[in-house]
């Protein structure tokens, strides 16, 4: 920093150099201003990068699998489905290119039933990883991921024997316990779980 000083002896203005340095007071002032601002920016960035929301569900009423875009922006690109097999390997099982409109459009679902079926060697039944790569709103090369469980829970009437013991309904799978009964379709493919309830319509 420069200061100017007038010398009567020489009748001229002289330049005086005053050194400037950063001390703890300057750093504290920086911190009080910059840290809250950086946290605000970081929160905004996280919200921006994680704004994409996806879901993979099984519509038991209509027997179809659907990918749902729960984001506020359209998705247009490649959708991929992965799973972990019995050997512990992650397998790319399905992919397709299409567009799903934003949640607010009211048309944010895409039916993939014609090309997707349950994997036979999956380690955890119904557990998949859904990935989107493409354009999200105005952003190109966006990536969105979601781990999904395609468990289908619904109620069935249980059969009890003469001693009031719960019996697994014939043809509905083999329940290892009576809190969740595995349900298979006519082709013996897994299609969900039934949650038992008694005659008072109360879950067991």
Q: CA 117 to CA 136: how far, in whole Å?
A: 27
pLDDT exceeds 70 at position 2: no
- Give yes or no for residue 3 having a pLDDT over 70: no
CA gap 22, 20 in Å, rounded: 7
* pLDDT of 151 above 50: yes
Per-domain boundaries in the chain: 54-149, 153-197
- Burial class of residue 82 (count of CB atoms within 10 Å of its CB; 0-12, 13-18, 19+): middle
- State yes or no: pLDDT of 80 exceeds 60: yes
Q: Where does the pLDDT of residue 192 fall: very low under 50, low under 70, confident under 90, or very high at 90 and above?
A: low
CATH number of the domain at 54-149, out of 2.60.40, 3.90.1150, 2.40.320, 2.30.30? 2.60.40
Give me the pLDDT at residue 110, please. Answer: 94
Query: Which neighbouring-strand residues pair with 69?
Result: 54
Phi/psi at 27 (nearest 5 deg)?
-65, -40
- pLDDT > 80? residue 134: yes
Q: Is the pLDDT of residue 177 over 50?
A: no
Whether 181 has a pLDDT exceeding 80, the answer reads: no
Ramachandran sector of residue 192 (left: φ over 0; alpha: ψ -120 to 50; beta: rest): left
User: By C-alpha distance, which of 94, 109, 95, 100 is closest to 57?
Assistant: 109
Residue 90, CA distances (Å) to 84, 129, 189 in order:
4, 10, 21
């Amino acid at each position: 920093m420069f200061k100017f000083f007038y010398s009567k002896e020489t009748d001229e203005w002289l330049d005086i150099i005053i050194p400037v340095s950063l001390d703890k007071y300057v750093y504290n002032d920086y911190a009080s201003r910059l840290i809250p601002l950086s946290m605000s920016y970081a929160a905004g960035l996280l919200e921006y990068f994680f704004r994409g929301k996806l879901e993979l569900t099984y519509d038991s009423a209509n027997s179809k699998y659907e990918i749902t875009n729960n984001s506020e922006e359209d998705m247009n690109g490649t959708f991929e489905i992965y799973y972990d097999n019995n050997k512990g390997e992650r397998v790319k099982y399905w992919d397709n290119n299409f567009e799903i409109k934003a949640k607010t459009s009211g048309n944010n679902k895409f039916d993939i039933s014609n090309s997707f079926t349950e994997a036979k060697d999956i380690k955890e039944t119904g557990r998949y990883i859904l990935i989107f790569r493409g354009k999200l709103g105005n952003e190109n090369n966006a990536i969105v991921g979601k781990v999904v469980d395609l468990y289908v829970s619904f109620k069935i009437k249980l059969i009890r024997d003469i001693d009031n013991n719960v019996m697994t309904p014939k043809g509905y799978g083999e329940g290892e316990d009576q809190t969740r009964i595995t349900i298979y379709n006519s082709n013996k493919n897994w299609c969900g779980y039934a949650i038992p309830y008694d005659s008072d319509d109360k879950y067991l």
